[in-house]
Amino acid sequence: MEGEFLFTEEDFKRIASFLKEASGIHLQEAKATLVYSRLAKRLRKVGMRTFHEYLSFIATPSGAEERDAMLAALTTNVTRFFREPHHFDHLRDSVLARLAASVRGGARLRLWSSACSTGQEPYSMALTLLSAIPEATRLDVRILATDIDPVVVDTARAGVYSEEAVSAIPAALRDKWMSRERESGRTIWRAGAEMRSLIAFNTLNLIGEWPMRGKFDAIFCRNVVIYFEEHTQARIWTRFRSFLHPHGRLYIGHSERVDVPGYVSDGLTVYRLEGAP
């Protein structure tokens, strides 16, 4: 491809193979222009003249940081508060309603946002939880929020959003659990300390090791496996089975589906384990 930087078919293949190995993301050739434009910014930033030079650099030990930046540039982080709102209704009505009494009696409740991007998904889970169990912060209740990209995990942990970003949050919930502030002449909304204390943010690669021990009452894995090949998707769905309580639920993206044995549908893009209540 001709442009500001020389970008050959061979360069594209090296990028695609790096990305698949690092994250499971399968890049189709039709994405070459997108890859060029996302990485051209990186080449400019580090002052390289060709993709060949850039790819040789990221393969060296001193290119490790840039390798992370390249991964971040190639992943899609689009998300929003209460995306696919029916999932949060389902979480409230089918998972939390059923468990609230035992959680109030001291039982443990664990939710996982497994591709949390900049945090809108785990905070939407936290707001749903707090609307069902307002005293959740004093109970054995935690949300694990993870993503492969450390930059988005830092943004999620900071929990600061624009007025526009929070517009999908019901006002009463927003006003109760977030604070409105002025920063550099604009309004921002900050997730409150109480809500933040419910969530543990960490990096985690869905195709790598999962260090968690306990099981989850709900796993959100939405709009990420769509970038993976089918066998990688199937491996992740299969791994989730042993991380779900028998009564647990798996929430996936609107254009994804779970087609490995052991799951049955529990509503639109929601699954439960076969034979489970």
Residues known to be catalytic? 38, 147
Of these, 222, 245, 249, 272, which contacts ligand SAM (CB under 6 A)? 222
CB of 107 to ligand SAM, least distance (A): 27
Q: Quote the DSSP letter at residue 76.
A: -
Encode burial over 45-61: b for 16+ CB neighbours within 10 A, e otherwise: eeebeebbebbebbeee
Amino acid at 76: T
From the list 90-98, 114-122, 178-186, 238-246, the region that binds ligand SAM by CB under 6 A is 114-122
CB of 49 to ligand SAM, least distance (A): 28
Please give, one letter per residue, the 3-state secondary structure of 202-229: EECCCCCCCCCCCCEEEEEECCCHHHEC
As a whole number of angstroms, the distance between CA 101 and CA 107 comes to 9
25 part of the interface to ligand SAM, by CB under 6 A: yes
Instruction: List the 216-221 sheet strands across, edge first.
Output: 199-203, 141-147, 109-113, 216-221, 244-252, 270-273, 263-265
198 part of the interface to ligand SAM, by CB under 6 A: no
78 part of the interface to ligand SAM, by CB under 6 A: yes
Of these, 56, 60, 76, 179, which contacts ligand SAM (CB under 6 A)? 76
Q: Quote the DSSP letter at residue 50.
A: B
- List helix spans (H) across the chain: 9-23, 32-46, 51-58, 64-74, 85-90, 97-104, 120-132, 150-158, 171-177, 193-196, 230-241
From the list 36-44, 57-65, 145-153, 165-173, the region that binds ligand SAM by CB under 6 A is 145-153
Residues in contact with ligand SAM, total (CB under 6 A)?
23
**Two tokens at 165?**
């970003």
Of these, 16, 121, 240, 243, which contacts ligand SAM (CB under 6 A)? 121
| Structure-token match 């994250």, residue found | 23
Distances (CA, A) of 164 to 167, 178, 226: 5, 14, 27
CB of 253 to ligand SAM, least distance (A): 6
CB of 15 to ligand SAM, least distance (A): 15
Of these, 51, 75, 244, 270, which contacts ligand SAM (CB under 6 A)? 75
Of these, 165, 207, 212, 234, which contacts ligand SAM (CB under 6 A)? 207
Of these, 142, 149, 159, 250, which contacts ligand SAM (CB under 6 A)? 149
In the region spanning residues 236 to 255, those forming contacts with ligand SAM, defined by CB under 6 A, are: 253
Of these, 95, 139, 206, 219, which contacts ligand SAM (CB under 6 A)? 206
CB of 148 to ligand SAM, least distance (A): 4
Nearer to ligand SAM, 53 or 256 (CB): 256
From the list 77-85, 130-138, 176-184, 189-197, the region that binds ligand SAM by CB under 6 A is 77-85
217 part of the interface to ligand SAM, by CB under 6 A: no
As a whole number of angstroms, the distance between CA 190 and CA 220 comes to 23
Nearer to ligand SAM, 17 or 179 (CB): 17
Q: Quote the DSSP letter at residue 25.
A: B
